Amino acid sequence: MSRPRATLVLADGTSFEGYAAGFIPDGGVTTGEFVFNTALSGYQEVITDPSYAGQIITFTYPHIGNYGVSPLDDEAARPWCRGLVVRELSPLRSNWRSTEELEAFLIRHRVPVITGVDTRRLTRHLRVHGALPGAFGSGDPAAVSEAARHATGTDGQDYVTQVTTPSAYTRGEGDLHIVAYDYGIKETMVAQLAQRFRVTVVPSWMSAEQVLDLTPDGVFLSNGPGDPAALGAQVREIGRLVATVPIFGICLGHQLLATALGASTYKLPFGHHGSNHPVQDVTSGRIEITAQNHNYAVEPDSLSRAVVSHVNLNDGVIEGISAVQDRCFSVQYHPEAGPGPHDARYLFERFENLLRTGQLEKM
């Protein structure tokens, strides 16, 4: 397949060569914050995760698209990422579940791609210098460089408003009712909750009073994109729910709950994006392999109203907190695992136990 040449330029001036694929935008240039994901499979789930809003995903695995795509694997109605960087975009799919080739899916959803890039070199650069804004495209290389100089990262950005559901909807038929805040919730997350509860998924802007009017047995705080420090309104509403109703948070929901409990957050150099991060339960010593996708984390010295329940064994980042007196807990990683290992799905059972007993296990 003949493809037009394309250029990738980071904000620090580092450049890469490749070929344009997927959707070609007007002007031929795409901007965003470049991050890398180390998962070996599950590219469709990664691409459709709303937590990537504002970002361009670099896949470290060299062959992407081998098994096509299936509607069963979508984590959202559409991808929210700005674009993709791959070493090789497979032109053929080979899997009995697939219904479409990946590139056709990306064109349909208007996702630009640059392929043929030395993704090993790009990943090593991001590991050293951190996630960087930049641009790529098949337009004039000078125009790509200019766009890279003006590209912005995720700091201070509220992407939740873009990805949240516009109206509430219900899933599941359990005897317990939970309200799930949609900050960018994944379909696998909703499915795990709906296996256990009757779930009302609500927009990110819903007030605490409106949530309590729905008489929930518990509240769930979902994953989502952007900087938690930019979501003051959401933190205030969570603060009004703390100690009133049991709460379970994941990823961005974990960061927002920690902030509502008085903690602060900071940006990691290049974030955690992949399906093989070891996390330890600090009480039991149990180690689980986890799926992760986040650029921000909770500042350890800022915790006062909660205790650390889980830590990342790679770098010591806080991976979970627990506040027994307030009947709330959260984790930074993704126990729903879409994609990834299922080691941590017991946390949904822990949430159910909290709702049924009114007591949070001490961690």
Q: How far apart are CA 258 and CA 136, in angstroms?
A: 36
3-state secondary structure of 142: helix
Q: How far apart are CA 352 and CA 218, in angstroms?
A: 9
Query: Any catalytic annotation for residue 81?
Result: no
In eight-state DSSP terms, residue 226 is S
The single residue of 254, 294, 310, 334 carrying the catalytic annotation is 334
Phi, psi (rounded to 5 degrees) for 303: -75, 130
CB–CB of 162/136 below 8 Å?
no
In eight-state DSSP terms, residue 362 is P
CA atoms within 13 A on the CB side of 208: 15
Query: Any catalytic annotation for residue 251?
Result: yes
The single residue of 103, 288, 336, 352 carrying the catalytic annotation is 336
> Tell me, what amino acid is at 334?
H
Query: Any catalytic annotation for residue 334?
Result: yes
Q: Single out the residue of 333, 329, 332, 331 nearest to residue 352, CA to CA.
A: 329
Extract the runs of DSSP E, i.e. beta strands, from 116-197.
132-137, 169-171, 177-182
Q: How far apart are CA 307 and CA 300, in angstroms?
A: 10
The single residue of 187, 251, 319, 352 carrying the catalytic annotation is 251
* Terminal alpha carbon distance of the chain: 55
Please identify every residue annotated as catalytic: 251, 334, 336
